[in-house]
Amino acid sequence: MSTKGHHDVVVVGAGLAGLNAALKLEAEGCDVLVLEAQERVGGRIHSMRHLGSNAEAGGTYIGAGYTRIIDAARQFDVRLIDVTPMLEFFREQDLVLGSEIIRQSEWAEHELNPFPERDRALLPWQYHRVLAMRENPLDSPHCWIEPEYADADVSVHEWMKSLGLSDRAIEIAYGINPSFGADAHDISALLLFFRAAFSKAQRRFAPEGSVGYTAEGGVQRLPEAMAAGLRREVALGSTVVGIESGDYDARVYLANGGTVTASAVVCALPFSVLRGLAIDPPLRGPQAQAVRSLRVQPITQVYMRPKSAFWLEDGYSASLYTDSAAGMVAAVRNGEDPNQVTTMTAWLMGPNAARADAMSEQDAGREVVAAIERIRPAAKGQLELIGLKSWGRDPYALGAWTYFRPGEVRAFAAHMGQRHERIHFCGEHLARSNRGMEGAMETGERAADEILAER
């Protein structure tokens, strides 16, 4: 489609943030053009439909308290399905340390458990979350960037040491397949406090007994429906290489040599991608530092189909949380019967993902399968590799979600989303009160409000 002409607003990026900004601007009468480099909308929401059973590579589940997301699903007629019965099975996973599988019931008294006496019953994947909730200095999630909490912007390792944990306890509590950073030295405790405060706040909005939802046909149905609700079709395959902000308008330069002009631009790209664009005049101060410095977590998902219920043979859980190259192996139940395992997904994060990303997809997949077979011989020959998704190698994302290293929250978190000339920014990395998909929606609203305030 043609992208020529002058528009009120050009939105760069058709993820949830960009689409939400575009919809709000259109609702107020703005002429909006949305540019998307990929041949699909959704950004880091990606339902891997070609693998069957709607395997989710990005936004996996919709939190039960995600009011903006749920309202959008209702507005655009996307049917949500309560996944609480399926999510219950994620709590069944057993722990693997070295070559030993440790049942949850065995952990509290296990000789490898280094946690303090009061916390020995907490499993490694729970422990840092419980600590962040229990020791949280934040009164509410939006406070995390306030100067009064800057003293908490230290490494998770330093914070946990201050609580009396040993190095081994910290390694097991945070160093196994970490969600943020490479290890406990690489992540700010303030980010964990923000996440914990957000989780606590979410409980006020969630219906009793419900954990979350998925969308019928995959979570990607939501951004697809939002895009279909725009008056102008999203311009797919439109890669932006530069943005110039002038006295009277902004000019967006495309990789195909085309240009588009607008009175304002909404940039919904993650900083990992934004740093590759030519911005004129250049970004300045803490905002420029943030774009250069903020890291995005490498995450690689390996999808497998079990040929048999081999976990019934060895008596361990179908799901495993491991310190091996297999990362966290989750048994997925996306069929009509929540008791039936349809596929298995190995979630590789941090160093595990970086290691996998250095290999070919086939080699990375084979290494994961081999690691599972070493841990549980009953799985030998019983896992069919059906696909892989690396967010670290995805040129349109270069990682899954943003994280802050120690000192980075106080250095630039309050400044990095500010408007720059005629350019406004949004994306989950700029959320101040919410996380994930809900955070992306929050920032799209904010960018649209900035533009509407000037009309």
pLDDT tier, 58 (very low <50, low <70, confident <90, very high otherwise): confident
- At residue 265, the 3 state secondary structure works out as strand
d(Cα 205, Cα 438) in Å, to the nearest integer? Answer: 12
pLDDT tier, 145 (very low <50, low <70, confident <90, very high otherwise): very high
Number of Cβ within a 10 Å radius of residue 82 = 15
How is the chain split among helix, strand and coil, in percent rounded to 5? 35, 20, 40
pLDDT confidence of residue 214: 86
d(Cα 387, Cα 253) in Å, to the nearest integer? Answer: 35
Q: Is the pTM of this model over 0.85?
A: yes
d(Cα 384, Cα 8) in Å, to the nearest integer? Answer: 50
d(Cα 390, Cα 344) in Å, to the nearest integer? Answer: 16
Q: Identify the DSSP state of 410.
A: I
pLDDT confidence of residue 52: 60
pLDDT at 297 over 50: yes
pLDDT tier, 2 (very low <50, low <70, confident <90, very high otherwise): very low
pLDDT tier, 333 (very low <50, low <70, confident <90, very high otherwise): confident
Radius of gyration of the chain (CA): 22
Give me the percent of the chain exceeding a pLDDT of 90: 84
Say how far residue 370 (Cα) sits from the centre of its chain. 27
Give 142 or 455, the one with higher predicted confidence: 142
Compute the average pLDDT of residues 20-31. Answer: 98
Compute the average pLDDT of residues 148-175. Answer: 97
Compute the average pLDDT of residues 428-439. Answer: 95
What are the beta bridge partners of residue 261?
6, 251
Identify the residue whose tokens are 């395959």.
237
* Pair 342, 334: CB distance under 8 Å: yes
d(Cα 107, Cα 125) in Å, to the nearest integer? Answer: 12
Average pLDDT over the chain reads 93
What's at 113, amino acid-wise? Answer: N
pLDDT tier, 102 (very low <50, low <70, confident <90, very high otherwise): very high
pLDDT at 402 over 90: yes
pLDDT tier, 208 (very low <50, low <70, confident <90, very high otherwise): confident
What's at 126, amino acid-wise? Answer: Q
pLDDT at 83 over 90: no
pLDDT confidence of residue 1: 39
pLDDT confidence of residue 5: 74
pLDDT confidence of residue 444: 98
pLDDT confidence of residue 264: 98
